[in-house]
Structure 1
Amino acid sequence: MTQIFLTGATGYIGGEVLHALQHAHPDYEVAALIRDKEKASKVLAAFPTVRVVLADLDNVDIIEEESRKANIVIHAASNKHIASVKAIANGLAGRQNAHYIQVTGASVLAGPEVDNNSYGEPSDQIIDDLDNAADLRDIIRAYKDRRVVDNYILDLGSSGPKTAIIFPPIIFGIGKGPVKQRSVQVPSLARATLLQRVSLYLGRGLSRWGIVHVSELADLFVKLAENAVNATPSPIWNENGLFFAEKGFEVGSWPNVSQLIHADPFSFFQSFKDVASVIAKEAHSLGYIDSPDSVKSMNLEESNVVIPNGSVFLGTNGQGRASRAKKLLGWQPDGESFQNAVRETIIAEAAQL
């Protein structure tokens, strides 16, 4: 019986992963680390077969024990809590048939902007996680102080569990998890648009990230879990276990919005100014702002009010191409369109104001 130990089940990503696992593989036994009894009851109401482990990330002895019981550990609660990461590694130590999947973020590529304090500007750096895996590893190694968890996992090598690190871009869509169903970037920009009656971007708005629907991201976790269970031989673990998760765009999928098309015709990255344009058009169509062209620039201070650490999450470049998952795992991110999800998000944010 496959046993999975999951952290972050009450969060946006972890909750969606739990939902996806329970629906794709009800035969998998899932133990979920949850620190709050009230939230635990919501998880159990939605998924009665889940075994709740009532503890938090600082309970490293419990995390190590649960990791030791598991075939697969999915750490979706945090990409900065190094003590919990070490506890997982200790619980899986020496078990080359065990698997460890860690979530982090596409901000791994944001180092140059942060170093230069330059935000909202374009970059010609596009890192393909299959063709440029060595370059991605070099980037992680170059920022050991900022990417502590990523570096620690890479340092585990091949003597311990098989590892994978997922670097999501902008995650959009309303989640199906039992507790938190709201993302960060798009909802925060939508809320700011509703409050100020104008859609916002940082600086010139020319920095670009990929995007992925939360259900598509969860499906990538499922694909990795399935590969682990089936022991399918492929270069997707350890030093090769680095995954971007952008969905790409079909040509013409964003009518009336400028498209930035790169060499690969199946993968496009959208500037934050384009994201602001989509939000403006949808907010206008719903009657919340006066014009579909109501967009304007904001400065660093304003961006950090819209979203904590907004300078990084709204002003840097995270152009990571997800070739590894698409080509080696058969991952097909073909879910809900960004435009439709933006519309749903605006409606949801408006209901909270």
Structure 2
Amino acid sequence: MATKLLLTGVTGYIGGDAFHVLKEAHPELEYTLIVRSEKRANAVREKYPDDKNVKIVVGAADSYTTVLEEEASKTDIILHTAESADDVPSAQAIVAGILHAKDRTATNPIVWIHLCGTGILMWYDQLHRRYGQPPLPSETYDDITSLPRLLTLPDSAMHRDVDKIVLSVNHLTPAAKTAIVAPPTIYGVGRGPINTISQQLPGLAQFILKNGFAPSPAPTGLTEWDNVHVSDVSSLFLALVEAAVNPNQRDNPEIFGLSAYYFCENGKPHVWGEVSAKLAQKAVEQGYLKEAVTKLVPFKELTVKSAALNSRSVASRARKYLGWEAKGPELEGELAGIVETEAKRLGVKKLEETV
């Protein structure tokens, strides 16, 4: 019998790219894709027509969690990416589905791969209103050596409420195993059927194009994040799905279970003030701005507020246990394309066209 995989978020940026990679690598899997409207379902059908191994289920707003619970009880692997990091009802529905699943044991578990994000690591700066400052040494988290700290982050941390729900199912039944994947800043064009664009960098480019200057988080602009290409996030999901069908890896508590927090970075962190300035320079080179001006901007005026808060992560677990490595294009080479794309989306004209 073919392995069944339930995916939420196929019309989203990360879920859409992940499904593209999974479908190419493993067309033999039986996929169930939950979408929130018939319009979105049709877009998926257009991209994946007449595929007997792809079932699309519509879960509208009033029935989404009911549908999700039912489908979660019937699958082997759950890949949850649809607004997953902060959607408490969806996480609770998945837990309920797993607990209601029939004929599941520790040797035949449901594997839940959950998309979170390294926004969870901003908690210290948020708590102390430490905006626009460089990171402290204690603000770097390794997903192996810092695991005790990750498992005891304060409840006020972003995404923490949902992460606790995901982790709880490991205590509730031996027939469930989990992995939490937390990427940092993601860039690159996705390969899904609808949303192919990320949020942070495009949002920053939009601010620059609308306001005519690069915002740098006050007071220093030295906040840092890690980053990763969307294709590398998808390759980690692929590695986890392949591990889920391999009993030797599936039953390894370092790969699935309470220890299975996965960061996902390329080892080349960025400083937000510097990235903002580079985006402005690209806007100048493309003719949208006369000059690249940088201004320190208070937290409350930033449209991309995460740029004012540190998030530093080290992806040791995926490298050690799954052989994963980041191989996608580097961030700097993507900046020009981000500016060009956002200028077109905003309808911004080049300076020579406004004369």
TM-score range, shorter chain: 0.7 to 0.9
Cα distance between partner residues in 2 of 1:73 and 1:108: 22
* Match of residue 41 from structure 2: 40
* Match of residue 247 from structure 2: 231
In the TM superposition, residue 38 of structure 1 has moved relative to its aligned partner by 1.3
Cα distance between partner residues in 1 of 2:157 and 2:206: 34
2:66 is aligned with 1:52: no
Cα distance between partner residues in 1 of 2:339 and 2:204: 9
Alignment partner for residue 70 of structure 1, among 62, 67, 75? 75
Cα distance between partner residues in 2 of 1:144 and 1:345: 29
Give unmatched runs, 5+ long, in structure 2: 348-355
Alignment partner for residue 147 of structure 1, among 147, 154, 160? 160
Cα distance between partner residues in 2 of 1:200 and 1:144: 25
Runs of 4+ that moved beyond 6 A: none
2:221 is aligned with 1:221: no
Cα distance between partner residues in 1 of 2:126 and 2:31: 38
* Match of residue 166 from structure 1: 181
CA RMSD of aligned residues (A): 1.8
* Match of residue 293 from structure 2: 294
Cα distance between partner residues in 1 of 2:187 and 2:176: 31
Give unmatched runs, 5+ long, in structure 1: 250-268
Alignment partner for residue 132 of structure 2, among 88, 103, 120? 120
* CA deviation map 1:203-246 (0-9, x unaligned): 12111110011111111111100100122334111111101111
In the TM superposition, residue 285 of structure 1 has moved relative to its aligned partner by 2.4
**Counterpart contact for 2:122–2:157, Cα < 8 Å:** no
Identity of aligned residues (%): 31
2:112 is aligned with 1:100: yes
2:148 is aligned with 1:134: yes
User: CA 1:45–1:320 in structure 2 vs 1: closer, same or farther (change >3 Å)?
Assistant: same
**Counterpart contact for 2:113–2:180, Cα < 8 Å:** yes
In the TM superposition, residue 323 of structure 1 has moved relative to its aligned partner by 0.9
Cα distance between partner residues in 1 of 2:38 and 2:170: 37
Q: Tell me whether 188-197 or 87-96 shows the greater mean CA deviation.
A: 87-96
Alignment partner for residue 344 of structure 2, among 343, 346, 351? 351
Cα distance between partner residues in 2 of 1:302 and 1:110: 18
Q: What code does the residue aligned with 2:266 have?
A: K
* CA deviation map 1:287-334 (0-9, x unaligned): 22233x52222112221xx2xxx33x2211110111111121111111
Q: What code does the residue aligned with 2:78 have?
A: V
User: CA 1:290–1:118 in structure 2 vs 1: closer, same or farther (change >3 Å)?
Assistant: same
Cα distance between partner residues in 2 of 1:126 and 1:190: 27
* Match of residue 80 from structure 1: 86
2:13 is aligned with 1:12: yes
Q: What code does the residue aligned with 2:295 have?
A: K
TM-score in terms of structure 2 length: 0.87
**Counterpart contact for 1:33–1:56, Cα < 8 Å:** no
In the TM superposition, residue 142 of structure 1 has moved relative to its aligned partner by 4.8
**Counterpart contact for 2:121–2:157, Cα < 8 Å:** no
Cα distance between partner residues in 2 of 1:83 and 1:137: 21
* Match of residue 263 from structure 1: none
User: CA 1:328–1:296 in structure 2 vs 1: closer, same or farther (change >3 Å)?
Assistant: same
SS at match of 2:14: helix
Cα distance between partner residues in 1 of 2:157 and 2:338: 35
* Match of residue 328 from structure 1: 321
Alignment partner for residue 314 of structure 1, among 293, 303, 307? 307
* Match of residue 223 from structure 2: 207
Cα distance between partner residues in 2 of 1:146 and 1:9: 21
Q: What code does the residue aligned with 1:154 have?
A: L
* Match of residue 350 from structure 2: none
User: CA 1:55–1:347 in structure 2 vs 1: closer, same or farther (change >3 Å)?
Assistant: same
* CA deviation map 1:51-101 (0-9, x unaligned): 111104653222121111111001101222222212211222354322001
Cα distance between partner residues in 2 of 1:326 and 1:213: 16
Larger Rg: 2
